[in-house]
Amino acid sequence: MSNALLDFEKPLEELQDQLTKAKQIQEKGKVNVDSVIKDLESKIEKTRKDLYSNLSAWQRVQLSRHPERPYSLDYINAITDGHFTELFGDRQVKDDKAMIGGFGEINGQTVMFVGQQKGNNTKMRQYRNFGMPNPEGYRKALRLFKLAEKFNKPIVTLIDTPGAYPGLEAEERGQGEAIARNLYEMSILKVPVICIIIGEGASGGALGIGIGDRVLMLENTWYSVISPESCSSILWRNWDNKERAADALKLTAIDMNKLKLIDGIVQEPVGGAHSNPGGMFDTVKAEIIKHLGVLNGLSPEERVKRRIDKFCSMGVYKEG
């Protein structure tokens, strides 16, 4: 396991060091340390299970941002087994690198994929604008949604963004309008729409590609109106209360599912999606196939009606 460890995974560090040493000794071949290695491996396994069986909201937020976590294109390439053609541009201003999309194939069925894309090194992170789309990104997404609708292809969106980009040009080109338009248009798309939060689901930037017949969250992701850090800085006027804010916002998959604001949780491998990406991709693929099967059985009118009714039923209030 070469994964970078998060602060709460510290108990694993020493065990992993020991394991590395034991393996080195083994390689030199002078002493038989098989039993020691086995011992350490099972200890690591158990410690990891314990750590992951009781994650706090903030720890899940950390996992959702793990630098080795798979991003949208990783999922799409794996799920389609490489049968994916990326399509670019919003046909108006430019191509937004923070929002990707295109046609792919799952089990012989064409699917339109759209998702925010983060980069996996400093250069690529900048290139992808840290997964923060500009209005062009949302308009590109909408263009692809409409293309899918025209040819009756289902849509899968993969959500992973720290927010829509709050820049000057984004304001000039109508960030608010671009997101609003997507909420409106996605509500009435005639084809099945599945939205999966694979990392961060920050506010309007996430919701802008998040109106679906099924909205699913991977186990270690978050989805809310604001990030815990920003929430802390607004309500407590500092960043020190991010853990408390994470709890208060009820932003984990478990909370969101309990509140009926999403349609389901997708289990991650123990240790998070990055600890076993292959396993994660298989699970996500199976989920897509499962939900598409159900959704394909409904008429477009029925799907749209249920989709609108679902979002319209969200909200708790007192009457009288």
Partner 1 sequence: MSWFKRIKEGITTSTSEKKETPEGLWYKCPSCKSIIPSQEHEDNMWVCVKCGYHERIGSAEYFAILFDDQKFEEFNMNLTSDDPLEFVDTKKYSERLIESQKKTGLKDAVRTASGMCNGYPLTIACMDFRFIGGSMGAVMGEKIARAIDYSIKHKTPFLMISKSGGARMMEAAFSLMQMAKTSAKLTQLSEAKLPYISFLTDPTTGGVTASFAMLGDLNIAEPGALIGFAGPRVVKETIGKDLPKGFQTSEFVLDHGFLDIIVNRTELRTKMGEILGYFAH
Residues that bind partner 1 (CB under 8 A): 164-168, 170-177, 179-181, 183-184, 187-188, 203-204, 207-208, 210-211, 223-226, 231, 234-236, 241, 245, 248-251, 256, 259, 261, 307-308, 311-312, 314-320
Q: Which residue has the tokens 């994660």?
A: 280
CB of 263 to partner 1, least distance (A): 13
95 three-state secondary structure: coil
Would residue 222 be called left, alpha or beta, if left means φ above 0 and alpha means ψ between -120 and 50 degrees?
A: beta
- Sorted by sequence, the CB contacts under 8 Å of residue 143 that are 6+ apart come out as 89, 90, 91
CB of 168 to partner 1, least distance (A): 5
265 three-state secondary structure: strand
113, β-bridge pairs: 102, 156
Closer of 185 and 282 to partner 1 (Cβ): 185
Of 83, 106, 89, 74, the C-alpha closest to 194 is 106
Half-sphere exposure of 95 (CA within 13 A, CB side): 11
Length of the chain: 320
Strands 222-224 and 214-218: unpaired
- Is 107:296 a contact under the CB 8 Å cutoff? no
Closer of 16 and 257 to partner 1 (Cβ): 257
Closer of 106 and 191 to partner 1 (Cβ): 191
CB of 205 to partner 1, least distance (A): 9
CB of 91 to partner 1, least distance (A): 16
CB of 140 to partner 1, least distance (A): 17
CB of 185 to partner 1, least distance (A): 9
Closer of 208 and 272 to partner 1 (Cβ): 208
Helix (H) or strand (E) holding 84: strand 84-86
Closer of 27 and 309 to partner 1 (Cβ): 309
Closer of 43 and 244 to partner 1 (Cβ): 244
CB of 79 to partner 1, least distance (A): 26
Closer of 104 and 210 to partner 1 (Cβ): 210
Of 164, 112, 159, the C-alpha closest to 137 is 164
